[in-house]
Amino acid sequence: MEDRAEKMETLLRDILVELGENPDREGLVRSPKRIAAALAFLTSGYNVDVDKLVNGACFTQETTSMVILRDIEFYSLCEHHMLPFFGRCHIGYLPSGHIFGVSKLARLVDVFARRLQLQERLTEQISRAIMDAIQPVGVGVMIEAQHLCMMMRGVEKQHAVMTTSSLLGSFRENPATRQEFLALINRPQP
């Protein structure tokens, strides 16, 4: 582990040199260490055992009405540029015998967000994990995000918000369920 951190610091120092910077000046001297630590945190989702998280998150409960958790903020890194994309994730499901602990739902978002990601894949990984964990009648996940790789560089569009959704089970098959989900996540803030 120590080895890996040291190797990262050396590589990051080399990057600073290649960028034309002086890695020994006061402001930068500890930056390779800080960047390595930041990258380790931002990709810490790889080290989380999803099965273990999910196992501790499921509770038996005989309710059948839709559960919604919306506006879960998240920060991720796009795998193409390693620049942040961030926004909000909305989750809904129709339970059938089991519910997913609400804080664990938010934690699940972080576990998949703290990796090198694509927004599309992030959305699907969350919905699939919920489906596998509690086998609900249906799941819907919607993510709205802004991508710094598009805002700071490339097409330089500052206000574009990308929306992705993954609908499984009744959320895909039943238009009324889908409508209920969309209406609940689109309601104005309380």
Instruction: Select 105 or 145, whichever has its Cβ closest to Zn ion.
Output: 145
Instruction: Select 104 or 121, whichever has its Cβ closest to Zn ion.
Output: 121
Minimum Å distance from CB 80 to Zn ion?
4
81 binds Zn ion (CB under 5 A): yes
Q: How many amino acids of this chain bind Zn ion (CB under 5 A)? A: 4
Minimum Å distance from CB 67 to Zn ion?
32
* 160: CB partners within 8 A, 6+ apart: 146, 147, 150, 151
Minimum Å distance from CB 116 to Zn ion?
10
Minimum Å distance from CB 82 to Zn ion?
8
Q: Which long-range contacts (CB under 8 A, 24 or more apart) does 125-132 make?
A: 126/89, 126/91, 126/166, 127/166, 127/167, 127/168, 128/166, 128/168, 129/50, 129/54, 130/91, 130/93, 130/100, 130/105, 131/168, 131/169, 132/54
Which member of 36, 66, 78, 109 binds Zn ion (CB under 5 A)? 78
Instruction: Select 45 or 92, whichever has its Cβ closest to Zn ion.
Output: 45
Segment 46-75, which members bind Zn ion (CB under 5 A)?
A: none
Segment 98-137, which members bind Zn ion (CB under 5 A)?
A: none
Which member of 80, 152, 153, 173 binds Zn ion (CB under 5 A)? 80
SS3 160: coil
Instruction: Select 78 or 109, whichever has its Cβ closest to Zn ion.
Output: 78
Minimum Å distance from CB 11 to Zn ion?
21
Phi, psi of 39 (to 5 degrees): -65, -35
Phi, psi of 151 (to 5 degrees): -85, -40
CA-closest candidate to residue 134, choices 64, 47, 49, 45? 64
Segment 143-182, which members bind Zn ion (CB under 5 A)?
A: 149
Q: Could you give the residue numbers annotated as active site?
A: 78-81, 119, 147, 149
- CA 108, 109, 113, 114 torsion: positive or negative? negative
Instruction: Select 42 or 149, whichever has its Cβ closest to Zn ion.
Output: 149
Please report, in angstroms and rounded to a whole number, the separation of the first and last CA atoms in the chain. 46
User: Footprint of Zn ion on this chain (CB under 5 A)?
Assistant: 78, 80-81, 149
